[in-house]
Amino acid sequence: YRDVMARLAAAVVLLFAFHFQNSRVCLSQGSVPEDHSYSNLLGRCFSRNEGLHAEVSGLNGALCSLRRACGFRPSLPYQTLGDQLNPATSCFQIAQRRRYAISGVYYILTSDVVTKTYCHMGSLGRCGGQGWTTIMKVDGRLNTFRYDADLWTNEAVHQISGGQTGFDDKETKLPTYNHLPFTKLCLVFREVACQEKRQVLIERGSPTTLYDLISDDQYRSTNVGRSGWLSALAGAGLQPYCNREGFNAKPDGSDHARARIGIIGNQENDCHSPDSLFGVGLAGHGCYVTFDHISAGNVDNPGCGADHVQIRHAFTYILAQ
């Protein structure tokens, strides 16, 4: 125990000496991280201080030895929550505890599963807030996440590496789908033909996982509103009636327009045969159209005719707090 404490004290002294003596090198390179975490600071200055690797490894060894011997995890003066050795429960937790944390990849621990996850640390448009955790990314041109895809109702993951790359074209379904309880869900829509991103915010009273909301195929309503959904894509439209929105939005007794998360519309004043829809996890058919080649975005059919169908594919990014 005394040996461990001695190693820890020596390593901490070295750490502070390194910080104050070498910060000028880092600053001259413009590489001091905004979150001021010592792990990032050390990593970015190693190129000028190769001889420090062994001593920093000694610090890590001392910390691990203390944890095993004493049953607790000692912290450096600046908390590195979200690092590999100290995963966070969510990106929101990191944002709350690390004031200067920037958007990027962090380690998130949910139900004993640690995942490298992209965290959006700034405000997310209409969703606001800070510390958004990635759950899914859907390419509306592909069939990976159509309404009937097993990925909506099972706990399998899909292309985890895509969950580390932010708002790009890579699809993903992370373990956070199954295990991250949230009270706020942000759907970010980006039409394939442009780079503009717009958001839909869904708020819930009690923390729930997306898996629990969707996997049983039971309809659960939301209160975004028709205009709230349609404003998320430029020029989007929906037939005037039905307007059933939420999780597992589907018609009464038919296989017409369906959305895992979204809203459906009909030209008749009921929800028996909706022919238009908006959201993510889409499927079904309507007047002169089938939704076989769109899994996210908008299908509008204002005149219920083949010449009136308007299809807008979208990339959809699903993040939670």
pLDDT tens for each residue of 119-164? 999 999 999 989 999 999 999 999 999 999 999 999 999 999 999 9
Residue 307: pLDDT band with limits 50, 70, 90? low
**What phi-psi label fits residue 277: left (phi over 0), alpha (psi between -120 and 50 degrees) or beta?**
beta
pTM confidence score: 0.77
**What's residue 3's pLDDT?**
58
Residue 24 has pLDDT above 70, yes or no: no
Other CB atoms within 10 A of residue 285 CB? 16
**What's residue 13's pLDDT?**
45
Q: Which secondary structure element, helix H or strand E, spans residue 177, and what is its range?
A: helix 176-179
Residue 31 has pLDDT above 50, yes or no: no
CA distance 1 to 293: 64
**Secondary structure letter of residue 81 according to DSSP:** T
**What's residue 11's pLDDT?**
52
Q: What is the mean pLDDT of the chain?
A: 82
Least confident of 19-28, 57-66, 240-249, 269-278: 19-28
Residue 26 CA from chain centroid, whole number: 31
Least confident of 62-76, 278-292, 306-320: 62-76
Is the separation of the CB atoms in 295 and 152 below 8 Å? no
Other CB atoms within 10 A of residue 79 CB? 15
Is the separation of the CB atoms in 232 and 189 below 8 Å? yes
**What's residue 291's pLDDT?**
78
**What's residue 77's pLDDT?**
42
**Secondary structure letter of residue 218 according to DSSP:** -
**What's residue 285's pLDDT?**
85
Residue 221 has pLDDT above 50, yes or no: yes
Q: Which range is most confident: 56-60, 186-190, 291-295?
A: 186-190
41-100 pLDDT, tens digit each: 333 333 333 333 333 334 444 444 444 455 544 444 445 999 999 999 999 999 999 989
DSSP 123-174: --GGG--S-EEEEEEEETTSSTT-TT-GGGTS---B-GGGGGS-SSS--EE-
**What's residue 182's pLDDT?**
98
**Secondary structure letter of residue 86 according to DSSP:** B
DSSP 39-54: HHHHHHHGGG-GGGHH
Other CB atoms within 10 A of residue 18 CB? 18
Pairwise pLDDT comparison (122 vs 286), residue with the higher score: 122
Is the separation of the CB atoms in 141 and 313 below 8 Å? yes
